[in-house]
């Protein structure tokens, strides 16, 4: 429980991203993750994923007043203006009514942008899942979060790392009593590759579908402490309901 709270505080603290900065990864090829969003309140504090031309999926623990932030899409170098960015104001945020800030169950929110994005090669939605992932599926996590497990350094360029979906048994064994049906683990039990502070809310993409949202974990890239992600496939009925009611 202490680990959960520490992660949540880190995730919400903004300047020091949350449970997931990419550790053990590499610089993504520029604009290879065109659904990647940066949530920004004067600085990047969480990630998100564009799921259609006017909606972003992120983690509920990343919530900030919608009128105090912007969503940046089409970015790669977070401090340089590249001419590919789209800066979007936020019209409304809907977080899951069952979200629990202590356990991080139902850690999901949907953000409606004030107007649709221009879809192009730099800004493009990621598909939502048609089925749940299976253990062993290889997935890509991306973000601007911390790249070290034992100190803080947030990179300027978007980072990526490939991690496998873990079995429900391995996930539960890593965090006894803390894993719910709305969570999925991805990573390596030996550690070394993970998301980290600042990656919170960002995408876990498997087979070209958004299967996870960076949520929490104990430390970053620690042995037997894989990353825990909001399991998007388990929340599709809620997502579709919000999109149909408020689009």
Enzyme catalytic residues? 61, 107, 200
CA distance 60 to 70: 16
Q: DSSP state, 21? A: -
CA distance 2 to 209: 32
Return the exposure string of 48-83: e unless at least 16 CB atoms fall within 10 Å of the residue's CB, then b: bbbbbebbbbbbbbbbbebeebbbbbbbbebeeeee
CA distance 202 to 146: 13
- 231 bridge partner residues: 212
CA distance 140 to 28: 10
Residue showing tokens 């001419």: 83
Q: Pull the structure tokens for residue 202.
A: 């960002």
Nearest to 116 by CA among 68, 73, 171: 73
Task: For residue 140, give the 3-state DSSP assignment.
Answer: strand
Exposed / middle / buried, residue 151 (Cβ in 10 Å: 0-12, 13-18, 19+): exposed
- 110 bridge partner residues: 57, 94
């Amino acid at each position: 429980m202490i680990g959960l709270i520490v992660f949540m505080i880190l995730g919400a603290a903004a300047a020091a991203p949350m449970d997931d900065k990419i550790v053990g990864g590499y610089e993504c090829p520029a604009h290879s993750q065109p659904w990647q969003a940066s949530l920004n309140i004067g600085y990047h504090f969480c990630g998100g994923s564009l799921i259609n031309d006017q909606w972003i999926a992120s983690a509920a623990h990343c919530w900030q007043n919608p009128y105090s932030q912007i969503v940046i899409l089409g970015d790669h170098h977070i401090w340089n203006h590249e001419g590919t960015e789209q800066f979007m104001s936020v019209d409304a945020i809907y977080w899951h009514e069952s979200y629990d800030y202590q356990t991080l169950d139902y850690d999901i929110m949907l953000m409606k942008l004030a107007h649709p994005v221009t879809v192009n090669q730099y800004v493009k939605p990621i598909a939502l899942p048609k089925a749940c992932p299976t253990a062993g599926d290889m997935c890509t996590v991306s973000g601007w979060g911390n790249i070290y497990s034992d100190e803080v350094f947030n990179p300027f360029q978007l980072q990526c790392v490939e991690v496998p979906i873990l079995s429900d048994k391995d996930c539960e064994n890593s965090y006894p009593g803390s894993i719910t049906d709305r969570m999925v683990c991805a990573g390596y039990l030996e550690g070394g590759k993970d998301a980290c502070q600042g990656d919170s809310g960002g995408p876990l993409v498997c087979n070209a579908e958004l299967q996870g949202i960076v949520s929490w974990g104990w430390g970053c890239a620690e042995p037997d402490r894989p990353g825990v992600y909001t399991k998007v496939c388990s929340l599709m009925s809620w997502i579709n309901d919000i999109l149909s009611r408020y689009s």
